[in-house]
Chain A
């Protein structure tokens, strides 16, 4: 895999390989010395045009745990997030010879555009409302660890699908892994044609009992402005995940950050069926596995400007050797 721009870049075997690798990194994470030299000498640039806590910090830590050199650039709110000088920024950064660029942008397709202007491998850490593939991969990993293969499992994704890149990547990823995916939410927040991604649509939670897993999406306050929902109170009445709606075996997920008491009740969020904390922990090891996959996995590493033979000495050390 050259880049990770969309879940569509992966097949099922690729997802399984990444999850398998994440599992081996999870073993390392339980050791006293958590760092491995796998990506020593490689440079990772994190370029975040939107504020982010979980994704940016877990990518930073993932790069560091793999001994990569790391540059983090956060420019939320600057003029670049209007997209005007994305090309200039990438050209400039690429002159520094990074091996990977991890980009978060408020605009769909930004990660794909970046691949035009750099030799580095590109990881999409969220592009507008389009995709957030690393989130979906960590969600798949979390579920595999908890319930095993997803074949035939019923997964409901509930809430603001229209504005959610997480939903778009998760529908693709869960369906790829054999799950039976349903999206549910107010008709104003379920885009026309979303079933084309391979999911069913429900406008109420009446059939929620069939779900093995319920994935809540963040409901943002801005959504009331354009009359998507009349009020968060009414939204909560109809779509909140709470003990009244959920059975004891139904697992609950959320990409964070959570609006407690809106899309999910506090007791559900903190309850025994909640995987929300596990998702965050998975984020680190899955992102380590993704960086490994694109920088060290599969093909011979490709270093800008190097001759084919010289890549040999940069082959990664075996996973698991302490640095």
Chain B
């Protein structure tokens, strides 16, 4: 598996200045690390994990006093919309990757449903160049599976891989035709790269705008049945097994979907799955407000679905957490629910929301959250960040005691369509190091240079 910082594109990469993080409570479930210690970062790598207060700072190193803070391996988001090219009024590479750095991420993967879509090798190369110039964190770009995301003809997947596409996805739309899906999985033998799937059967979704159930019935909003998602997962699980191919199911929303993924995995299919912070913490009851900030696809569903998703995160049916960070302008959100654009931002709140709603109340362990926030890297054959001697130094310092109101100080993202805006959140990333370089630092958080 490759290194995130060396494989994906970003403006850093020269290793930066050396750093000593003093007195942090380091926690890495992958290496069973859980201790208060000093972390010495030299030439972009973790050179030493020493007892607190004992590490010698290399000459000229910056010292980060991290008493009372936690140090986690930095996170990886397999599912982000950076909106470039074509919709830079919502987000671009610079603002989106800054939001990622602020959220504690050391790597993200950008979807291809831009305007125009990413489907030519030149599209991929141009995005990679932009990321090399502007990206605060390493960014991978996926290309579409089908031309124009129309679901009819495959893109030139080999050439796209050659240009550096990290995976393929028509995310935003399902691949409706089972025949095309099968061809894409067959072609994977030649080109590699997983296929990220937005699972939804338009014939069952119809004109649905929210999860089907008591709330949609009461509001008179057309509901999307859970089977719209789960029947497609079942289909693609069977195809993956038949073709011995790999695919990744994005943003699970329903209990039936969890069951479909579990069944496919149990049968031996090489299927992975992701869940978003909003599906893990919110339900369709939020939509009683008719506030379009809670409109996204797949939709929020019932408390029973939410519980199934949490169980799936715990038992490994869900492999990783992805935000589906989907920025939209206020023009697209401050409109009636039925006509509002679908999607919510997520990079800047993911950890805090999940810590506040799931870890602090004791629903899941902190270690599990940290692990699933980083494990998405493996979908792209990348090594998740880890805190170990010799590993690339990609870590996030988090103040678990911090309390803040989401959005009160503005956002790094260009768009403000957070489903959590205005909520009191507990815990906050204060500093993100990627490959030894400080990618983000909260203004209030100071450093000093050792003599």
Chains A and B come from one and the same complex = yes
Question: Of B212, B218, B336, which is within 8 A of A107 by CB?
Answer: B336
CA separation between A83 and B209, bound complex, in Å? 15
User: Would you call B217 an interface residue if the criterion is a C-beta within 8 Å of the partner chain's C-beta atoms?
Assistant: yes
User: Would you call A86 an interface residue if the criterion is a C-beta within 8 Å of the partner chain's C-beta atoms?
Assistant: yes
Assess A197 versus B217: contact at CB under 8 Å? Given A107-B339, A108-B290: yes
B residues 312-368 in Cβ contact with A at 8 Å:
331, 334-339
| Interface residue stretch chosen among B79-87, B219-227, B390-398 | B219-227
User: Would you call B413 an interface residue if the criterion is a C-beta within 8 Å of the partner chain's C-beta atoms?
Assistant: no
CB nearest to A194 among chain B residues = B217
CA separation between A164 and B218, bound complex, in Å? 11
B299 to chain A minimum Cβ distance, whole angstroms, is: 14
Provide the B202-239 mask, 1 if CB < 8 A to any CB of A, else 0.
00001000001111111111010100000000000000
Provide the B286-320 mask, 1 if CB < 8 A to any CB of A, else 0.
00001000000000000000000000000000000
Check if B336 sits within 8 Å of A191, measured CB to CB. Answer: no
Complex contacts, A105 vs chain B, CB 8 Å: 336
Check if A86 sits within 8 Å of B338, measured CB to CB. Answer: no
Check if B334 sits within 8 Å of A129, measured CB to CB. Answer: no
Provide the A153-165 mask, 1 if CB < 8 A to any CB of B, else 0.
0000000000111
| Interface residue stretch chosen among A30-38, A51-59, A62-70, A109-117 | A109-117
A residues 80-131 in Cβ contact with B at 8 Å:
82-84, 86-87, 105, 107-110, 112-113, 116, 127-131
CA separation between A131 and B221, bound complex, in Å? 11
Question: Of B215, B217, B220, B337, which is within 8 A of A165 by CB?
Answer: B220
CB nearest to B337 among chain A residues = A109
Complex contacts, A164 vs chain B, CB 8 Å: 220
User: Would you call A321 an interface residue if the criterion is a C-beta within 8 Å of the partner chain's C-beta atoms?
Assistant: no
User: Would you call A3 an interface residue if the criterion is a C-beta within 8 Å of the partner chain's C-beta atoms?
Assistant: no
Assess A193 versus B215: contact at CB under 8 Å? Given A108-B290, A129-B220, A131-B220: yes
Kindly name the residue among B214, B220, B290 whose own CB sees the greatest number of chain A CB atoms within 10 A: B220
Assess A108 versus B213: contact at CB under 8 Å? Given A130-B221, A131-B220, A191-B223: no
**A residues whose Cβ falls under 8 Å from a Cβ of B:** 82-84, 86-87, 105, 107-110, 112-113, 116, 127-131, 163-165, 168, 191-197, 226
Q: A108-B338, A165-B220 are in contact. List 5 more A-B contacts (CB 8 A).
A: A82-B339, A109-B337, A116-B334, A128-B338, A195-B214
CA separation between A108 and B210, bound complex, in Å? 12
Question: Of B213, B214, B223, B336, which is within 8 A of A110 by CB?
Answer: B336
Check if A193 sits within 8 Å of B206, measured CB to CB. Answer: no
CA separation between A226 and B203, bound complex, in Å? 10
CB nearest to A114 among chain B residues = B336
Kindly name the residue among B331, B334, B337 whose own CB sees the greatest number of chain A CB atoms within 10 A: B337
- How many positions in chain B have a CB within 8 Å of any CB in the partner chain? 21
Check if A130 sits within 8 Å of B219, measured CB to CB. Answer: yes
Check if A193 sits within 8 Å of B335, measured CB to CB. Answer: no
Check if A192 sits within 8 Å of B218, measured CB to CB. Answer: no
Kindly name the residue among B218, B331, B337, B339 whose own CB sees the greatest number of chain A CB atoms within 10 A: B218
CA separation between A195 and B335, bound complex, in Å? 29
Complex contacts, A226 vs chain B, CB 8 Å: 206
CB nearest to A169 among chain B residues = B220
Check if A87 sits within 8 Å of B334, measured CB to CB. Answer: yes
CB nearest to B220 among chain A residues = A129
Complex contacts, B221 vs chain A, CB 8 Å: 108, 128-130
CB nearest to A105 among chain B residues = B336
Check if A108 sits within 8 Å of B335, measured CB to CB. Answer: no
Check if A193 sits within 8 Å of B216, measured CB to CB. Answer: yes
CA separation between A127 and B212, bound complex, in Å? 19
Complex contacts, B336 vs chain A, CB 8 Å: 83, 86, 105, 107-110, 113, 127-128
- List 9 contacting pairs A-B, 8 Å CB cutoff, sorted by A: A84-B335, A113-B336, A127-B336, A165-B220, A191-B217, A192-B223, A193-B218, A194-B218, A196-B215
Question: Of B212, B214, B290, B331, which is within 8 A of A196 by CB?
Answer: B214
CA separation between A259 and B337, bound complex, in Å? 30
